[in-house]
Amino acid sequence: MHFNEYLESSSKKLVGNTYCMHICPVNKNKPKQPKYLLNMKKITFILFALIAGTTFAQDNATATVNAKIVTPIKITNSGVTVLDFGYLAVPASADTDVIVATAGTRAAVTDVTLSGGTVSAATFQITADLDYNYTIDIADITLNGPSDTMALTFAHDDSSLKGTGSPKTVNVGGTLTIKTTQASGNYNGTVAVIVAYQ
């Protein structure tokens, strides 16, 4: 039998048999899938890939949050509320400074006569939370007299500037400048001692 005749006879005999796929073109007229269906498969795959990528692009972590309410810092007058330089005489030859130390003692830099009167440093109590640092700010002022003024600067003896959780005594002294032309009379002023946490 000729080979072509064999193929023709075999295809007739083997249609429907699973072996026919190897030797004859069965269902050669089977309709092809439309291109849009093929494209839909591709699009479906791409969309799935995009959705999966978005989902797995997230992550998270946690943090511990702490807070502490600090006791407000406080300053009050304690005992002696006056920084007093006592009685002073006008310097003979040059303007000079008179110092009242935080310990309450008085000294003159040059030839001022210290002629008695009450001498004292001002005393305060500062209460700040334990181990918290703070600042003390005392601005320079001018003392006013009957017809003249005197410049005054300040110093305190709080070397630690750290709270103890209890009231702490702080003394404030100052340096007063007296001119050779200083007018006689009583001089006074008011100073603010400001404390604040750092």
43: confidence class by pLDDT, cuts 50, 70, 90 = low
* Cα atoms found within 13 Å of the Cα of residue 153, Cβ hemisphere only: 6
The pLDDT of residue 114 is 87
Give me the pLDDT at residue 182, please: 95
Residue 55 has pLDDT above 90, yes or no: no
Percent of the chain with pLDDT over 90: 61
**Cβ atoms of 154 and 138 closer than 8 Å:** yes
The mean predicted confidence, pLDDT, of the chain is 82
Residue type present at position 187: Y
Give the pLDDT confidence of 163-189 residue by residue, as tens digits. Answer: 999 999 999 999 999 999 999 999 999
Q: Which residue has the higher pLDDT, 157 or 1?
A: 157
Average pLDDT rounded to a whole number, residues 116-123: 93
* Amino acid in position 46: I
More confident residue, 180 or 78: 180
Residue 110's pLDDT is 81
* Domain architecture of the chain: domains with CATH: 3-55 (no CATH), 74-197 (2.60.40)
Q: What's the 3-state SS for the chain?
A: CCHHHHHHHHHHHHCCCHHHHHCCCCCCCCCCCCHHHHHHHHHHHHHHHHHHHHHCCCCCCCCCCCCCCCCCCEEEECCCCCCEECCECCCCCCCEEEEECCCCCEEECCCCCECCCCEECEEEEEECCCCCEEEEEECCEEEECCCCEEEEEEEECCCCCECCCCEEEEEEEEEEEECCCCCCCCCECCCCEEEEEC
Record the pTM: 0.68
Does the structure show a pLDDT above 90 at 21? no
Residue 13: predicted pLDDT = 47
Of 53-57, 102-106, 139-143, the one with minimum mean pLDDT is 53-57
Is the model's pLDDT at 25 over the cut of 80? no
